[in-house]
Amino acid sequence: MNYSNNIVMFDGVKKSYDGESYVVKDLNFGVERGEFLTLLGPSGSGKTTTLMMLAGFETPTQGEISLNGNVLNKIPPYKRDIGMIFQNYALFPHMTVAENVAFPLKMRKISSHEVGEKVKKSLDMVHLKGLADRMPSQLSGGQQQRVAIARALVFNPKLVLLDEPLGALDKNLRQNMQLELKHIHENLGVTMVFVTHDQDEALTMSDRIAIFNDGVIQQAASPNEIYNWPKNSFVAKFVGETNFFQAKVVSSNIGKNHIACEIMSGEVFNVYYEGRVKEKTNISLFVRPENIRLESLGVKKSENDNSIKVKIEDVNYHGDHSKVTLVGDNDIRLVSKISSAYGYSDLSGLKEAVFKASDCKVLEA
């Protein structure tokens, strides 16, 4: 990431509501110009408070927030040149669609002729052509959300903040709006900061994700890095499902960037690791459920094949995949996701199998 290109900077930002405990703790972080950044985390993790401080609806207890090099702390929200999209849309019920979209332009004393042109262009962008004279109550939830997006973008803000804007939509509409927002971001190149607690949404839409927990950013990276190379166990657990193993290093010299580890059931796994680690060190391994294969007993084990004999405890059908609960020696419990292309009926008849981890990695050493 090019930090010299940051449009937003958080410098030592803390937030406390009671003067004792902090909901945001010493935040030092930048948002790059033109990126789609998602703040992701559980309820109470600090992500929404961070967004509200950036918007101007909350004030930092300590530290500074800057936009384009200008400190925002004492600048009121309406002077920050920031677009805002809320979960509940926050449309004015007594105004038409066009009047709602025109509102931020009129507040900025834009000429009537220019207002009309900008409103039309903004409504066309969100596919609401022909609905300018409708009232919000005459629109569907998805249409209301498009009006909110048009209003946030109509004055060409430097930055757009989105506070769980798709949370009230049904699944199919939500997925469609995810793609629309992503396309709008790509076409306009505007910087967007998006808050959600939905991991799939964050992975789908973001250039970069900042994972919050207990007021601290646990990791900030691309969706691919967050999912495949989580920094710690919290990130690994929060984004997607994960199987964990406790293991001990038995050899740190079995090839480039690989080590041999003995897991609790006694099997030795060959795992990828770029760092240096001493033998007999206790480490934590992880493997995603979709990287676990199941094969029938008696299949010949190949060299460096990370496998365990397991019993199949439960099989649950989820349409495109089946989730299989497995139990190995020493009560090792695992979850595997098997694509339905392999056949649900084949899985349902199995009682025992060989579990093979095709992408097992070191999480913490």
CATH number at residue 323: 2.40.50.100
The angle formed by the CA atoms of residues 158, 160 and 164, to the nearest 5 degrees, is: 170
Q: What is the DSSP letter of 302?
A: P
- What distance in Å separates the CA atoms of residue 73 and residue 58, rounded to the nearest whole number? 9
Q: How far is CA 246 from CA 277, 281, 327, 364, in A?
A: 15, 11, 15, 10
- What distance in Å separates the CA atoms of residue 35 and residue 25, rounded to the nearest whole number? 24
The answer to whether residues 79 and 222 belong to one domain is: yes
Long-range pairs, 310-319, Cβ under 8 A, ≥24:
310/334, 310/352, 310/353, 310/354, 310/355, 311/351, 311/352, 312/347, 312/350, 312/351, 312/352, 312/353, 315/344, 315/347, 315/348, 317/344
Burial of 51 (0-12, 13-18, 19+ CB in 10 A): buried
The answer to whether residues 221 and 256 belong to one domain is: no
Final residue of a domain: which of 210, 238, 266? 238
The answer to whether residues 213 and 130 belong to one domain is: yes
The answer to whether residues 101 and 163 belong to one domain is: yes
The secondary structure element, H or E, covering residue 248 is strand 243-251
The answer to whether residues 160 and 250 belong to one domain is: no
DSSP 191-226: EEEEEES-HHHHHHH-SEEEEEETTEEEEEE-HHHH
The answer to whether residues 85 and 171 belong to one domain is: yes
191 assigned to some structural domain:
yes
User: What local confidence, expressed as pLDDT, does residue 35 receive?
Assistant: 96
The answer to whether residues 144 and 255 belong to one domain is: no
364 assigned to some structural domain:
no
The answer to whether residues 200 and 331 belong to one domain is: no
Nearest residue to 273 (alpha-carbon basis) of 295, 293, 254: 254
Question: 324 in helix, strand or coil?
Answer: strand
Nearest residue to 355 (alpha-carbon basis) of 273, 281, 263: 263
User: What local confidence, expressed as pLDDT, does residue 346 receive?
Assistant: 60
The answer to whether residues 229 and 149 belong to one domain is: yes
70 assigned to some structural domain:
yes
User: What local confidence, expressed as pLDDT, does residue 151 receive?
Assistant: 94
Final residue of a domain: which of 238, 268, 296? 238
Final residue of a domain: which of 238, 256, 272? 238
Q: Which stretches of 116-201 are assigned E, i.e. beta strand?
A: 159-163, 191-196
- What distance in Å separates the CA atoms of residue 205 and residue 195, rounded to the nearest whole number? 11
Q: Report which residue type is found at 5.
A: N
Number of domains in the chain: 2
Q: How many angstroms from the chain centroid is the CA of residue 84?
A: 19
- Contact in structure between 38 and 223 (CB atoms under 8 Å): no
Q: What is the pLDDT along the chain (365 residues), one digit of tens a residue?
A: 444 689 999 999 999 999 889 999 999 999 999 999 999 999 999 999 999 999 999 999 999 999 999 999 999 998 898 999 988 888 999 999 999 999 999 988 989 889 999 999 999 999 898 899 999 999 988 899 899 999 999 999 989 999 988 877 788 888 888 888 899 999 899 999 999 988 999 999 999 999 999 999 999 999 999 999 999 999 999 998 999 988 999 988 777 788 899 988 788 888 888 878 888 899 999 999 999 888 776 665 555 678 888 888 888 888 888 898 998 887 788 899 988 776 555 666 667 788 788 888 888 65
Reduced to 3 DSSP states, what percent helix, strand and coil does the chain have, rounded to the nearest 5?
A: 30, 35, 35
User: What local confidence, expressed as pLDDT, does residue 1 receive?
Assistant: 42
What CATH number should be reported for the domain holding residue 72?
3.40.50.300
Domain that holds residue 85: 3-238
The answer to whether residues 141 and 216 belong to one domain is: yes
Question: 16 in helix, strand or coil?
Answer: coil
293 assigned to some structural domain:
yes
- What distance in Å separates the CA atoms of residue 269 and residue 305, rounded to the nearest whole number? 7
- What distance in Å separates the CA atoms of residue 322 and residue 342, rounded to the nearest whole number? 10
User: What local confidence, expressed as pLDDT, does residue 353 receive?
Assistant: 81
Question: 245 in helix, strand or coil?
Answer: strand
240: left (phi over 0), alpha (psi -120 to 50) or beta: left
User: What local confidence, expressed as pLDDT, does residue 160 receive?
Assistant: 96
**Which residues are paired to 258 by β-bridges?**
272
365 assigned to some structural domain:
no
Only one residue has tokens 């506070």, namely: 163
The answer to whether residues 328 and 186 belong to one domain is: no
Radius of gyration for the chain, computed over Cα atoms and rounded to the nearest angstrom: 25
First-to-last C-alpha distance (Å) of the chain: 26
User: What local confidence, expressed as pLDDT, does residue 93 receive?
Assistant: 94
- What distance in Å separates the CA atoms of residue 176 and residue 145, rounded to the nearest whole number? 12
The answer to whether residues 75 and 164 belong to one domain is: yes
- Contact in structure between 102 and 178 (CB atoms under 8 Å): no
Q: How far is CA 101 from CA 12, 92, 239, in A?
A: 36, 10, 36
